[in-house]
Amino acid sequence: MIATIYTNSKNYKIDFMQPIDISIPLQASKNNVNAWYLEAPKIEPVTVDDWVGSVVEGSAVNFNSIWFNPHAHGTHTECVGHITEKVHSVNKNLNRFFFLAELITIPPQKQGGDFVISKKQLQYALGNKKREAVIIRTLPNTKEKLSKQYSHTNPPYLLEEAAIYLKEKDVKHLLIDLPSVDRESDEGKLLSHNAFWNTGGKLRLDATITEFIFVPNTVEDGTYFLNLQMAPFENDASPSKPILYKTLE
């Protein structure tokens, strides 16, 4: 099914029959992608006295409980409530789900002992384009990202200047294939989170950050429509399933 969408004073055609899923599925395995020093997620059948919620164990149904952390165990979307004293729910603040997006590929640059994404790199990749969402794929881009154990590895991150640049371009939704937009250990400063959500001024309650995505190398840089699907958790963050639809000429 091909639909025409009008936005930014332009008509875009998209094919809804060719979705591109850029989420990482959660699995009960040590191979599940992981960060922030937590154990692997668990998916286990409920046990009540002699009853086990498993068809293999004789039950009529499979009835599993799931233990996971949205920030540590896979693709998730978070709101400013992630870093504020006041409780803000991503489920209440994300109330649109379809956005004009730009996919860009960035090789983080070495700075001291870190690898970082700079404002200059984003400026070069985005130019004058006005997008509601920006999707950052970092290099190298290997399937290792689907199972990488990030704790104590000091992954690449955004410089504060890069987050300020995206805020000033009015990018509302930032998606990245890393566990965080900030340095793994930064004494709690969270410079890029704070800059993107503008915690020093009027909070950007309708802005989100989605981390732990994976964009295959077969997906070309360019303009897409993003469907930002999310589980309805009343929490600062929720597991999510971002879907891209390529724009047609």
67 CB-near residues (< 8 Å, 6+ apart): 41, 42, 43, 44
Task: Tell me the per-residue pLDDT of 163-202, one tens digit each, with 9 for 90 and over.
Answer: 999 999 999 999 999 999 999 999 999 999 999 999 999 9
∠ Cα 227 232 236 (to 5°): 95
Which residues make beta-bridge pairs with 227?
98, 243
CB 124 within 8 A of CB 156: no
* C-alpha span between 15 and 13 (Å, rounded): 7
Query: Poorest-confidence range of 12-16, 118-122, 239-243, 244-248?
Result: 12-16
Residue ranges per structural domain of the chain: 2-24+72-248
CA distances from 151 to 126, 148, 210, 224 (A): 31, 9, 18, 32
217 CB-near residues (< 8 Å, 6+ apart): 141
- Provide CATH code, domain 2-24+72-248: 3.50.30.50
Task: Tell me the per-residue pLDDT of 197-243, one tens digit each, with 9 for 90 and over.
Answer: 999 999 999 999 999 999 999 999 999 999 999 999 999 999 999 99
